[in-house]
Structure 1
Amino acid sequence: MGSMTGEETRTATSAPVRGAAPEAERPAPAPRAWLTRLVVVGIVLTALNLRPAITSFGALLEEVRDGLGMSGSLAGVLTSVPPLCFAVFGITAPRLARRFGPAAVVCAGMLAIAAGLLIRPFAGNTAGFLAASALALMGIAVSNVLMPVIVKRWFPDRVGSMTGLYSMALALGTASAAAVTVPMTRALGGSWQAGLAVWALLAAVAVLPWIPLVRARDTALSPERSRVPAPRTVPAREAPAPEAPALRITRSRTAWALAVFFGLQATAAYITMGWMAQIFRDAGVPAGTAGLLLAVTMVMGVPLAFVIPRLATRLPRQGPIVIALGACGLAGYAGLHLAPAGGAWLWAVLLGVSNCSFPLALTMVGMRARTGAGVVQLSAFAQSTGYLISIPGPLLVGVLYQHSGGWGLPIALMAGLMVPQIVVGVLAGRDRTVEDEAAAR
């Protein structure tokens, strides 16, 4: 975790331009500490915006279905759109980051989220709602991939803590949207359009901290430069160190295990966000209470998303954490099937604990690669492949729900997927790096 990235190593060993003053004699850039604090603010605000587009829709799913005339199967398609967009657009994030810089891409992502959330409730039909949702989800997708990259770049010695902070803010945003969307809709006159559109304001605020970072071009002001010792002047005849060969990420078994783990935990998360409130409502729980139960599930990630990454970075293997989270998920699904209303609060808590597989997966992305370039490739591969894997899950739940007339089969599907999630999570948690595996094959 504390090893220098390839970029850091090259900076430490390459020669300065002849005639230039040694970096040790130059004063540190004045805005360095201020920019670092701004990165922290940007990370937190970005994380707050990565799930309200989904959980606000889940809280008002019945109202949106009635307003747009959607069937259960079509609603299932809509709940499958987030992972599809994350897979399609997330794979473009590394290329965009190389060309424009991570800060510029995340800034554009926040703008896309704000625009999509503002447009989609007033699109007037299902196709327009879907297109506007895709715009917002495109912004979420690229930000999803680049958050571990930004954390690794700016805080290479605090990956666990910063991933925990980011994951905690993400869980808080997810829970807040689930909890307050229904009462806020009522306060705005009962219009589901207003209840969904109001979340565009939060995304607009998240644009602001990234603007100075875009102007500073964070690739040029990367904080590693201020932490690396000043290089000594070397003879001009010495050639610069050669670039590391491109990492063939698909040769790594750990990368595949992490991608499948990411996909299965995402399947569980998006089924939960899209359908759990409806499960409780169909069991006789009032709409407002169902939204609160979904919020409880999401808010469990606030404390645990900070604790789990810190714990994970202290363990050589993360398999025990994977097993504990999976057991909570299996218990929650069993309770949701046997007594959905009677033990609703307990099932919400257990499923919330289980959903903390997401911050664990993000932490393992940073731990399973040694270099910054490796993290970029692993993050893009694991998230894009994982989200592709997760696409059928919410759709199958909608189809099974509509054709079986109940929640027995959908819940059985959710519980069944938890078993392979535990298996691949244990494999992904082994103490090894994708660079070593790719080089050995």
Structure 2
Amino acid sequence: MESEAPSRAANVLLLAAVALVGLNLRPFITGIGPLATDIGAETGLDLKGISLLTLVPMALMGLFAFAGPFLQSRVGARRSTLASLAVLVLGSALRLFAAKGWQMVGTAALLGLGVAVIQAVFPGIVKKQFPRHVGVVMGLYSATLMGGGALGAQAAPLVAAATGNWHVGLAWMAVPAVLALALAALYLPRDGVSVQKRTSAIAFLKRPRVWLLMVCFGLVNGGYSTVVAWLAPFYREHGWSAAASGSLLAILAVCQALAALVLPVLAKGKDDLRPWLWLTLVMQAAGFAALAFRPEAAPLASAMMLGAGLGGCFALSMIVALDHLPDPAEAGALSALMQGGGFLITALPPWIVAALHEATGSFVAGWLLHLASAIVVAVLYWRVSPTSYARAMNTPTAGAEIGPARG
């Protein structure tokens, strides 16, 4: 019993570290939308320029996620996470001094780099430390990630209004990053001497299933990147204040967090997660349709529906990727590659929607684009049956490199 108590306490503290790390991965993005008008007025960034503050970090999340297998095998997941949290502290603090457009884009790149590395290695930590509770812990991680989005959207305009300075509204995010760094340094498990066996990214990329997971993840999270970039400006065009539009975005993010936490728990024990994924896609479609056709009819309900769909789909997609392979290192590498290709896709929609707005004078075309994306993903997920996991991840040319999946 004495040995169980310290183990239980250590797991609780490790879960706290997981939650606090997740909390820091989105505020720097969601805080931009409510302050977009103020940022553009001082820095000279137009809508396309503002979209870069989402596009650039999302693109880096994609590019550097491909380094996940290398980082896990050569650097170690713990060391990679700690270095990346230090980068988040620096990037947030530098926003206090960023007065020009290129400086803001530079801080976005720095922050995106830090988040990219964490997202690439963290699922592997979860799979290794909580092998019997992957779904629940990934739900916690996803929920706090989305909750961090709510925190950024709500707090950024409030802090900016209280201080009279939008720079402070963004730079305060260095504080929770410092706390996450301290907790992670204390409680994340140390990397072994021989860290994790190397997994060939090239071998993974020969599998059509990996590309399918990338496309689905990218299209869904493209909806997220567009929403965090343009939902607040969309309602500001309808006469809402910065605080009110930020509150709507925060409510959406809270619903994302709740769905990311609750849906994996409800789906626990289910081998086939596709019905749950389809439920989240229906919610997304309903939310985007409401924004396109009746934005003022029930904005709160639309935001809640859209948030629940996006958050639940994110968490379930991560679990599906990890379920494809039993080995933590290999499952983490697959998750990293899914995020890599996915975030490269995710980076583009905010800029595309900005261009559509410039051409049409409205965000409606952008919302319809994401309505169509939800339908496409629903069709693609038909192929992701749990009975296909082992077959999809084993081929004659690479079967020796990648172990058998759980059937």
Shared fold per TM-score greater than 0.5: yes
| Structure 2 residue 124 is the aligned partner of structure 1 residue 169 | no
Q: Which residue of 1 aligns with 2:60?
A: 85
**Per-residue Cα deviation, 1:241-283 (whole angstroms, up to 9, x for no partner):** xx89857212333322211111111101100111111111112
1:291 to 243, 246, 253: 246
**Per-residue Cα deviation, 1:131-182 (whole angstroms, up to 9, x for no partner):** 1211111111111122211110101011011111111211211111112221
Does the C-alpha gap of structure 1 residues 336 and 107 become closer, same or farther in structure 2, counting only changes over 3 Å?
same
Q: Which residue of 2 aligns with 1:426?
A: 382
| Structure 2 residue 374 is the aligned partner of structure 1 residue 415 | no
Shift of 1:31: 6.8
Shift of 1:422: 1.5
Q: Which residue of 2 aligns with 1:218?
A: 191
Q: Which residue of 1 aligns with 2:126?
A: 151
- Say how many residue pairs are matched: 394
The question of whether the paired residues in 1 share the 8 Å contact of 2:256 and 2:309 is answered with no
Does the C-alpha gap of structure 1 residues 116 and 46 become closer, same or farther in structure 2, counting only changes over 3 Å?
same
| Structure 2 residue 155 is the aligned partner of structure 1 residue 199 | no
Does the C-alpha gap of structure 1 residues 429 and 49 become closer, same or farther in structure 2, counting only changes over 3 Å?
farther
Counterpart CA distance in 2 for 1:265 and 1:368 is 20
| Structure 2 residue 192 is the aligned partner of structure 1 residue 272 | no
Q: Which amino acid aligns with 1:355?
A: L
2:38 to 63, 71, 83: 63
**Per-residue Cα deviation, 1:257-316 (whole angstroms, up to 9, x for no partner):** 211111111101100111111111112222211111111111012222122223344222
1:329 to 284, 288, 294: 284
**Per-residue Cα deviation, 1:348-394 (whole angstroms, up to 9, x for no partner):** 11111121211111111221112113212201210001111222211
Q: Which amino acid aligns with 1:276?
A: L
The structure whose Rg is larger is 1
Q: Which residue of 1 aligns with 2:78?
A: 103
Does the C-alpha gap of structure 1 residues 49 and 245 become closer, same or farther in structure 2, counting only changes over 3 Å?
closer
Please identify runs of 4+ aligned residues in structure 1 that moved more than 6 A: 27-31
Q: Which residue of 1 aligns with 2:111?
A: 136
Does the C-alpha gap of structure 1 residues 291 and 66 become closer, same or farther in structure 2, counting only changes over 3 Å?
same
Shift of 1:36: 3.4
Counterpart CA distance in 2 for 1:437 and 1:103 is 27
Unaligned runs of 5+ in 1: 1-26, 223-242
RMSD: 2.5
SS at match of 2:191: coil
The equivalences for 1:267-416 within 5 A come to 267-356=222-311, 357-416=313-372
Counterpart CA distance in 1 for 2:349 and 2:69 is 27
Q: Which residue of 2 aligns with 1:6?
A: none
Q: Which amino acid aligns with 1:212?
A: L
Counterpart CA distance in 2 for 1:428 and 1:312 is 16
Counterpart CA distance in 2 for 1:420 and 1:406 is 23
Shift of 1:32: 5.3
Q: Which amino acid aligns with 1:275?
A: W
Q: Which residue of 2 aligns with 1:12?
A: none
Does the C-alpha gap of structure 1 residues 73 and 436 become closer, same or farther in structure 2, counting only changes over 3 Å?
closer
Counterpart CA distance in 1 for 2:11 and 2:391 is 29
SS at match of 1:122: coil
Counterpart CA distance in 2 for 1:244 and 1:106 is 18
Counterpart CA distance in 2 for 1:30 and 1:91 is 38
Does the C-alpha gap of structure 1 residues 251 and 57 become closer, same or farther in structure 2, counting only changes over 3 Å?
same
The question of whether the paired residues in 2 share the 8 Å contact of 1:260 and 1:386 is answered with yes
Q: Which amino acid aligns with 2:63?
A: V
Counterpart CA distance in 1 for 2:198 and 2:157 is 52
The question of whether the paired residues in 1 share the 8 Å contact of 2:221 and 2:314 is answered with yes
The question of whether the paired residues in 2 share the 8 Å contact of 1:255 and 1:428 is answered with no
Counterpart CA distance in 1 for 2:91 and 2:387 is 41
SS at match of 1:47: helix
The question of whether the paired residues in 2 share the 8 Å contact of 1:165 and 1:305 is answered with yes
Does the C-alpha gap of structure 1 residues 429 and 272 become closer, same or farther in structure 2, counting only changes over 3 Å?
farther
The question of whether the paired residues in 2 share the 8 Å contact of 1:76 and 1:399 is answered with no
